[in-house]
Structure 1
Amino acid sequence: MSKIAVVYWSGTGNTEMMAEACAEGVKESGSEVTLAEVSSFTAADTANYDGVMFGCPAMGAEVLEESVFEPFFTEAEAFLENKPVALFGSYGWGGGAWMNDWAERTRNDGAKLFGNGLAVENTPDNDALAECRKLGKDFAAQI
């Protein structure tokens, strides 16, 4: 059985909702899942998992949240070589460029990126949450 971490930061609760749905999908696949808000997870913890799903909303000029998530992810990059990774998050403006940039950055870290990241505009509706569950389930199935 695979061990998968779903690690997220959420300012308004949108990305937290997505993280919970992703974790449900992982669990449905039969894998072991740890759902963790980024402040309760260390970068080194990523080494203890077969795969990691990271969630962060777009902030400012379509960047990762800068005071908590960005420093964490910068540290975590050292542990991503050949690690299966999936990305998700919400945004309220722009076209989702932050997700494209984050996906490219993650690939450049040597991670085995699953897809191109799941970006949801504003509060996830039932369809978006179903996509998150599917992402978690599909991600777990490929590990």
Structure 2
Amino acid sequence: MAKMAIIYWTGTGNTQAMAEAIAEGAAQAGSEAKLFEVEQFDINEVGSYDGLLLGCPAMGDEVLEEGCFEPFFTELEPLLKDKPVALFGSYGWGGGAWMQDWAERTRKDGAKLFDDGLAIENAPDADGIAACQKLGKEFSAQF
């Protein structure tokens, strides 16, 4: 059974709803998926997970949240080489360009990036929840 960490930051609850739906999909696929708000995750535990799913909404000028998530991700980057990683998050403006930038940055870190990231505008509706569950299932299927 694959063991995955779903690590996210949320401001309005949209990215948390996505994380919870991803965990449901992973569980349906038979994987163990643990949910962590970014402040709760011990970066020294990265090696004990087969894969990481990272969630952060677009903030400000299409960037990762700067107070908690950006410092966490910067510290995480040296540990991503050859690690299976999937990205997700919500946005309210700008068309989701932050996800493209984040995916490129993650690729440069040497991660085994799954797809190009799942970006959902505002709160996930029923189709968005289904897309999150699908991400959890499909990410799990690679293990």
TM bin (shorter chain):
over 0.9
**Root-mean-square deviation (Å):** 0.6
Query: For the residues of structure 1 that align with 2:55 and 2:102, how far apart are their CA atoms?
Result: 11
| 1:47 matched residue in structure 2 | 47
| 1:126 matched residue in structure 2 | 126
* Percent of aligned pairs sharing the same letter: 66
Query: For the residues of structure 2 that align with 1:100 and 1:45, how far apart are their CA atoms?
Result: 27
Helix, strand or coil at the partner of 2:57: coil
Query: For the residues of structure 1 that align with 2:117 and 2:45, how far apart are their CA atoms?
Result: 21
Helix, strand or coil at the partner of 1:66: coil
- 5+ residue gaps in structure 1? none
- Is the Cα–Cα contact under 8 Å of residues 23 and 35 in structure 1 kept in the other structure? yes
Moved over 6 A (4+): none
Summarize deviations over 1:35-90 as a string: whole Å, max 9, x none: 11111002222221000000000000000000000000111111110000000000
| 2:84 matched residue in structure 1 | 84
| 1:74 matched residue in structure 2 | 74
| 1:19 matched residue in structure 2 | 19
Task: With the length of structure 2 as denominator, give the TM-score of the two structures.
Answer: 0.98
Helix, strand or coil at the partner of 1:61: coil
Helix, strand or coil at the partner of 1:85: strand
Query: For the residues of structure 2 that align with 1:75 and 1:9, how far apart are their CA atoms?
Result: 15
Task: With the length of structure 1 as denominator, give the TM-score of the two structures.
Answer: 0.98
Query: For the residues of structure 2 that align with 1:107 and 1:42, how far apart are their CA atoms?
Result: 22
| 1:3 matched residue in structure 2 | 3
Helix, strand or coil at the partner of 1:36: strand
Query: For the residues of structure 2 that align with 1:64 and 1:42, how far apart are their CA atoms?
Result: 19
Summarize deviations over 1:2-51 as a string: whole Å, max 9, x none: 10010000000000000000011111110111111111002222221000
- 5+ residue gaps in structure 2? none
Query: For the residues of structure 2 that align with 1:77 and 1:42, how far apart are their CA atoms?
Result: 14
Letter in 2 for 1:120: I
Letter in 1 for 2:122: N
Query: For the residues of structure 1 that align with 2:45 and 2:76, how far apart are their CA atoms?
Result: 9
Letter in 2 for 1:9: W
Q: Report the count of equivalent residues.
A: 143
| 1:107 matched residue in structure 2 | 107
